[in-house]
Every structure is written in C-alpha cells, then in structure tokens.
Amino acid sequence: MGLVPPYSTETLLECAKALHNIKPDMYSIILNCAQGTPVAHTFMQTMASFGQPVIDLPKIGDDFTVEEIESQKLRPRVDSEGGRAAAEFLLALLKYAHPSSLQCNWDQRIRLFSEGKAAMTYGWSIRAAMFEMNEGCEAHGKVGYTVNPPKLGVKPVSPIGGFSLVIPTNLSEDRLEKNWQMMTYLARPDLMKWYTLNGSFSSPRFSTSADPEVRQFSDIFETVDELERRGEIQNWPRPPVPEFNQIVAILGEEIHKMLRGILSVDDALSRAQQRIEALGER
C-alpha cells in the first residue's frame, strides 16, 4: 500500500483509516482500553503524546521534571487543551479499532495482535516476546517498531515501565550483604543478555543491547536504545505521586465511560478533573 510507519498522531489516524477493513477479521489497530488501569494508562500516555502531563509539572526544555513533585499541591491537568486533544484522538482512533479494545488489558491486546487480528498496536517492548518468539503465530516476523507517535511539533515520549530491585530499609544487617550480592548477581551483563535472549525484550544496559547476538535476535533493542539516547524515554507521563493509584482509578472510570458514549468529552474531563482536585484537598 506504500504506507510508512506513522510518525505523528495525524499520520497514525491516516494509517488507521487506510488499513480499515483491508482484510477480513483484521482491524487497523487494537487498544488497551479496558475499564480501570488499562484505559487510564492509555489516556495518560496519549496526553503525553500531545505534550501534556496528567498533573501540573515544571517544564524543562521539551520535557517535564518530577524532581520536586511531592512539595507541590496536586493540580490536575485533565481538563485542558492536551486532555481534550487526547480524548478526541482516542475517540477518533476507536472508530478503526478492534471491538475488543474496550475490554482489553495488556495480555489480551498483545495476544489478539499476535494472532493477526489488528495491523497496529501500542505496546511495551517486553511483550514483543508474544510474537517474536512464537513462530506459529500470525504476526511472527512481520512486525516493525517505531516511536510512540506524538502530535506534530511535540517531542516524542515513551513512558518507562519495568520492575526495580530494591532492598527494604528494615532488613537486618545479617541479611543486607546477601541481598546486595543477589542483586549484583542478577544484574550481571551475562545474565542481562540471557534475559533478553529468553523473552525479556528490553535491557537497561547499552552494552547488552549492542551485543551482536542480541541485535540479530530482534530489531526492538536498537529501537529502544535510540529512544533512550534521544531522551524520548521519560517517567513524567506517569508521575510518581502518592495519589497516583487514585488518579488511575478516577481516569479508569470516567474515560472509559466517555469511550463507551455514556459521557461526553466535556463531562468526562470535567468530572475527572474535579475528582482529582478533591484528592489534594483532603
């Protein structure tokens, strides 16, 4: 069809329209929009694509900082130009999306994509193992990767995911050294390589991603490394505030109602804004 990978929210919609009904039982895109945490995370990440964090954050250059976030009063930015643009974009994209999108969480979405039920999807790099390591699935060997498409003129940004290894502060002295040794062992370069070659499609070490065997294994490692080098992997789309889980719960209700047509864009954004504002007044 001569389509190029979408590089903006505008071209993503164009691709979705062009791919609509191109094959029987295959949709343009599948979204992570089940009620609760899935749709809330999707909405926050989409707001970031329009250059707007979900709460008011200090801006530094093209990005935002979360360094002094706890000292500020919680000021939501859901009912804003960026919030409205994100809401309208998701509604537009939903016209071409797999009908299960409003019930999909991360696992269901990537499974349907792997089965060839959608031409495009947003996804965490680690979940690429679903189709990269399964030669029997429809998507195997047919997937390319690109940055999370932003609005034209906005810097691309992808949120950080993954897990952290930590040592509890109340750990006894006799166990402290053993825990540190275990963490050091698990983070060794050779083990990092083993993880990537056995299904963990991301690496915190540039050296691991640059390994010839790893690069040959999948194109995704080079893509993620380039995002990191350009400063396009950030944590501000999902800001680390104490109220984060409550914000997610509120968005997970109001935005889902909006996508189902129960609430208008105005009502959904206003209700979410007011409910999040109330969190900071307690």
Output the pLDDT for position 262: 98
Q: Are 140 and 132 in contact (CB under 8 A)?
A: yes
Among residues of the chain, what percentage have pLDDT more than 70?
96
pLDDT tens, residue by residue, 60-118: 888 888 887 764 567 999 999 999 999 999 999 999 999 999 999 999 999 999 999 99
CA 26 to chain centre: 23
Output the pLDDT for position 71: 46
CA 246 to chain centre: 19
Question: What is the spatial distance between Cα 278 and Cα 271, in angstroms, rounded to a whole number?
Answer: 11
Burial 69-105 (b: 16+ CB within 10 A, else e): beeeebebbbbbebbbbbbebbeebbebbbebbbebb
Task: Name, in order, each residue with C-beta under 8 angstroms of 198's C-beta and a sequence gap of 6 or more.
Answer: none
Tell me the range of 127-131, 230-234, 266-270 where mean pLDDT is highest. Answer: 266-270
Mean pLDDT, the chain, integer: 89
| Stretch 239-246: mean pLDDT | 90
What does the domain layout of the chain look like in residue ranges? 9-160+235-279, 175-220
Alpha-carbon torsion angle 22, 24, 27, 33, nearest 10 = 170
Banded model confidence at residue 281, pLDDT cuts 50, 70, 90: low
Question: What is the spatial distance between Cα 130 and Cα 217, in angstroms, rounded to a whole number?
Answer: 14
Question: What is the spatial distance between Cα 159 and Cα 170, in angstroms, rounded to a whole number?
Answer: 31
Stated pTM of the model: 0.87
Q: Mark residue 21 as left, alpha or beta (left: phi above 0; alpha: psi -120 to 50; beta: remaining).
A: left
CATH (residue range 9-160+235-279): 3.40.190.10
Six-digit token pair at 61? 């250059």
